[in-house]
Structure 1
C-alpha cells in the first residue's frame, strides 16, 4: 500500500493537505490528522482539527488553516 492511499488509516498534514508517513504523523500530532478508511463525516466537505481529531465549523477551519484539514 502506498503512502497516499486511504487503506487502513493514513495521516494527512493539516499544513499542506498532503498524505505523510505514519512516522511523521505520530511525531507531529498537532499538525496531522489520522484518517481511517471510510471517514468522511457525511455529505459535502468538512473541516477536522488536527489537534483534537474532531470536526469543527467551517468558520473555525477557515480561521485556522495550519491546524485543520478540509475533507471532501
Structure 2
C-alpha cells in the first residue's frame, strides 16, 4: 500500500486514507492523486476527486464523498 505523501500517492475522497495506486487508478471519481511538496497555504482547501480542481469551501463541505480537504 502506498503510504505517506510521496510522489504520485493516491488518497480516498471518502475516507481520507491513502490507497494503492491500483485502487486510485481504478476509482478516479473518488480518489485524488497527490503531488509531493508543501501546499503553500496555511488555510485548508477542498479539491474535487473528479476533476482534480480546487473547489469552494461550501462545495467541499456539501460533497464530502467526492472532495478532499487539504490543509
Normalised by the length of structure 2, the TM-score is 0.92
Tell whether 2:9 aligns with 1:10. Answer: yes
Normalised by the length of structure 1, the TM-score is 0.91
Q: Could you tell me how far 1:43 is from its partner in structure 2?
A: 2.5
Secondary structure in 2 matching 1:38: coil
Secondary structure in 2 matching 1:23: helix
How many residue pairs match? The answer is 71
Tell whether 2:45 aligns with 1:52. Answer: no
Structure 1 range deviating more: 37-46 or 8-17 = 37-46
Q: CA RMSD in A?
A: 1.4
- 5+ residue gaps, structure 1, are none
Q: State the partner residue of 2:67.
A: 68
Extract structure 1 runs of 4+ deviating beyond 4 A: none
- 5+ residue gaps, structure 2, are none
CA separation of 1:64/1:25 partners in 2, compared to 1, >3 Å: closer, same or farther? same
